[in-house]
Amino acid sequence: GWKDAISTTIINFNNEKMQITWAARELFPSENVSFSYTFDEGKHKVWKPCPTYLLDQDYNSGCLFKTEGPTLAISIRNSNGSEELFSKRLKSDFYIKPNRPENVTFFWKDDTVTVSCNKPERAVKCLRLELQYKSKFDKDWQSRTSKCCSVGEQGFDPRKCYSFRVRLKRLVPYCNVVNYSSDWEAETFWMNGTLLDSCDDDIKSQSNTVIVLSWLLAVLLMMLILLILLCKWQRLQNSVMPPIPDPKYIFDDLFKDHNGNFQEWIDKIDHAMVQTKLEYEEPECIIEAESQQEDEKNSDKQGPQEKIFSFPRAAENNDPKAAQIACLMPTSNTIASFAGFQILMNDDMYVML
């Protein structure tokens, strides 16, 4: 019973090497034990000493040797080999730990990722390919297992960066009595079918983009605020202190033609005003005698209220001299018909109808 109570760990590395370990300091604190093994069956067994010991503080705590068959027998003895302390017989095929998957390939299409690897030479039916993945927003790994040697999964967001890792595992209890899996293949990082060195690069690039956009928005906002303040300040300044007109633009000819000589400029203006007055002086009215006599008769009957002048020829010939109206009596209201228009003249007021 004491021999059966000893705990050992048995690993068959891809059916190539065997590793058997025990707790040396706890189980055999007083002596350094020896280890022997055999793959032979029947009565004629050939025991082989351990070729490579695993040590724990200079004590033999395990043995590493080559796998030579499906049936294994082991024996742990005292230091000189005279007394057997533990023995066990087992099937080495039930303790196989597969190697890492080889030539792992990723195929990304739309939202589906398919991972595949090379098929091992032995016991393919006992193997499963496990895929684990997570994005930068996931805390735990998501797992997917399929037959060797291809596994696919859907629902991947092409805008996210994902970490992937794969391994091979043995079926339990049909092929193994212990749930052994291979070591994980090197972790890889993918985003929308593109292999990346790390998902941190994607995080940095996004953070840099966010920082740049934030700065741009802040600058635009500050410019907008300054523009609004400037407009309000100009309005306030105009209301409190109205702008003084610049004489340079009002009296452009004073500064441009006379170099600011006010006396020379005012003399020129007076001369121009005299000429304009002479040009627009009203000529003496020429009125036919018959029309004047009739008008006098009418004025005697109707009173000195209004006179009517008709210029049919002026309308027909477009004579500018005949179109000039002058010599109006200051106390009369006169209506003149000229070029299709009627002009009412009352004292110094002219109204065109």
Interval 63-105: pLDDT, tens: 999 999 999 999 999 888 888 888 899 999 999 999 999 999 9
Task: Choose from 23-37, 124-138, 224-238 the range with maximum mean pLDDT.
Answer: 124-138
Query: What are the b/e assignments for 3-36, b being 16+ CB within 10 Å?
Result: eeebeeebbbbbbeebbbbbebeebbeeeebbbb
d(C-alpha 188, C-alpha 108), whole Å? 13
Where in the chain is CATH 2.60.40.10?
A: 8-97, 105-196
> Nearest-CA neighbor of 38 among 92, 80, 83?
92
**Sheet architecture: strand order including 194-196:** 142-147, 127-135, 162-170, 188-191, 194-196
5-34: average pLDDT:
88
What is the pTM (predicted TM-score) of this model?
Answer: 0.55
Residue 342: per-residue pLDDT = 47
Model confidence at 344, pLDDT cuts 50, 70, 90, reads very low
Does the pLDDT value for residue 303 go beyond 60? no
Looking at domain 105-196, its CATH superfamily turns out to be Immunoglobulins (2.60.40.10)
CA dihedral sign of residues 318, 320, 321, 327: positive
Q: Is the CATH number 2.60.40.10 carried by domain 8-97?
A: yes
Q: What 8-state DSSP symbol labels residue 98?
A: P
Task: Choose from 94-98, 208-212, 260-264 the range with maximum mean pLDDT.
Answer: 94-98
